[in-house]
Amino acid sequence: MTLAATAPAPFAKVSVIGLGLLGGSVARAVRARMPGVHVTGYDASADVRARAAQIDLADTIAQTPREAVAEAGLVIFCVPVGAMGAAAATLAPYLPADCVISDVGSSKASVLKALGEALPGHALVPAHPVAGTEQSGPDAGFATLFVGRWCILTPPEGTPHEAVARVSAFWEGLGAKVEMMEAAHHDLVLAVTSHLPHLIAYTIVGTASDLEEVTQSEVIKYSAGGFRDFTRIAASDPTMWRDVFLNNRDAVLAMLQVFTEDLTELQKAIRKGDGEALFDHFTRTRAIRRSIIQMGQDDARPDFGRSDHKPA
Ligand SMILES: NC(=O)c1ccc[n+]([C@@H]2O[C@H](COP(=O)([O-])OP(=O)(O)OC[C@H]3O[C@@H](n4cnc5c(N)ncnc54)[C@H](O)[C@@H]3O)[C@@H](O)[C@H]2O)c1
Ligand SMILES: O=C(O)C(=O)C[C@]1(C(=O)O)C=C[C@@H](O)C=C1
């Protein structure tokens, strides 16, 4: 597939810090869609750096923090949200004064704080591409991950407009649709649409496994449909998701409270045999699913974003 660039690249040299699913996808996408842009990749893990070099993930695989950001116009942190501050502090002494800082973290308020504290004086344009899979590591990424997906930017007040415009153009160049949001609002929205669903998947798969003794292994044997869908999400990276829940604690707990109350309502309807309440609820949720598909926001497009159907 040809992925030709349609506009001039907003940065001549991009440093990708963290070469897992997201960093690997950013590196691949830049190389596929922004010819002439130099991509430098760096990872704290020597094993990941070695693998990234083996699979030619970037133009340069840096071996030191200094080399990682040399002459960078954009430095984009693709590490777990709990590691953002440490990663930034390691690179701080070597950053070009005029480089723009961004990231791809799944929560934004704590990342904004961590990056801001570690890198005072740098233009900071945090980003969250709302696209991913349950896979991790340097082999997991792919160049088309961001195509047609939202990328939410949460620049703090006072960020130079030019830096925001260039990061916005960067994500559009990778095929994403860009939206601006305040970091705290982002964290509330994503708590509902991404973090809570993951927590529920982690719970249901754990519960089903605990019940295996009761059901004599039939849970695994007959797992299909709904349960199987949950197991995909529950296979997501433990470090990444531990960090998301610790870093977006308040929003997740607030949404979990609402969810628990709604679950109790459904439990009550089942106990009381209130078929009308159940039917009405399921009718409403079916309409929501259908409207998501109509808006083109469904990632169940065949072969899209699924590890078992990874695009070439
Ligand atoms: N996985 C998804 O679906 C998804 C989607 C959108 C955003 N994100 C966000 O993207 C970020 C990366 O997630 P991922 O799925 O690519 O994880 P990943 O585990 O595939 O990769 C993370 C990489 O970061 C490296 N790393 C950790 N600490 C580091 C440090 N201090 N300095 C340099 N490298 C370091 C690790 O060695 C690893 O290679 C996270 O913040 C996550 O919240 C993930
Ligand atoms: O499809 C998946 O596997 C994902 O979980 C991707 C997903 C999501 O919840 O939508 C996960 C975390 C991100 O921060 C963004 C995207």
Same domain, yes or no: 14 and 148: yes
Ligand 1 center to residue 266 CA distance, Å? Answer: 37
Same domain, yes or no: 173 and 190: no
CATH assignment at residue 193? 1.10.3660.10
Asked if pLDDT for residue 83 goes beyond 70, the answer is yes
Ligand nearest to the CA of 305: 2
The pLDDT score that the predictor gives to residue 6 is 57
Kindly write down the DSSP assignment for every residue of 18-58, as one continuous string: --SHHHHHHHHHHHHHSTT-EEEEE-S-HHHHHHHHHTT-S
Last residue of a domain, one of 163, 181, 199: 181
Ligand 1, atom 9, residue with closest C-alpha? 105
How many angstroms from the chain centroid is the CA of residue 105?
A: 6
- The residue among 149, 150, 154 whose CA lies nearest residue 164 is 154
Residue in this structure with the two tokens 């990056």, named with its chain if needed:
115
Asked if pLDDT for residue 305 goes beyond 80, the answer is no
The pLDDT score that the predictor gives to residue 306 is 39
Q: Are 159 and 119 in contact (CB under 8 A)?
A: no
Asked if pLDDT for residue 199 goes beyond 90, the answer is yes
Q: Which amino acid does the sequence have at 39? A: V
Same domain, yes or no: 24 and 134: yes
Same domain, yes or no: 150 and 90: yes
Rounded CA-CA distance 311/296 in Å is 19
Average pLDDT along the chain: 91
Q: What ipTM goes with this model?
A: 0.99
Ligand 1 center to residue 79 CA distance, Å? Answer: 3
What six digits make up the tokens of 156?
Answer: 């703090």
Domain that holds residue 21: 3-181
Strand partners, 102: 76
Name, in order, each residue with C-beta under 8 angstroms of 29's C-beta and a sequence gap of 6 or more: 3, 143, 144, 145, 146, 174, 175
Ligand 2, atom 1, residue with closest C-alpha? 133
Mutate to test the pocket of ligand 1, among 42, 79, 232 (most ligand atoms within 8 A of CB): 79
The pLDDT score that the predictor gives to residue 298 is 54
The pLDDT score that the predictor gives to residue 8 is 80
Taking only the tens place, the pLDDT of each residue in 220-267 is: 777 777 888 898 999 999 999 999 999 999 999 999 999 999 999 999
Mutate to test the pocket of ligand 2, among 106, 297, 298, 301 (most ligand atoms within 8 A of CB): 106
Q: How many domains does the chain have?
A: 2
106 ligand 1 Cβ < 6 A: yes
Q: What's the predicted TM-score (pTM) here?
A: 0.93
Strand partners, 170: none
Same domain, yes or no: 161 and 195: no
Same domain, yes or no: 160 and 224: no
Residue of higher predicted confidence among 143 and 298: 143
Strand partners, 177: 150
Q: Give the β-pairing of 100-103 and 13-17.
A: unpaired
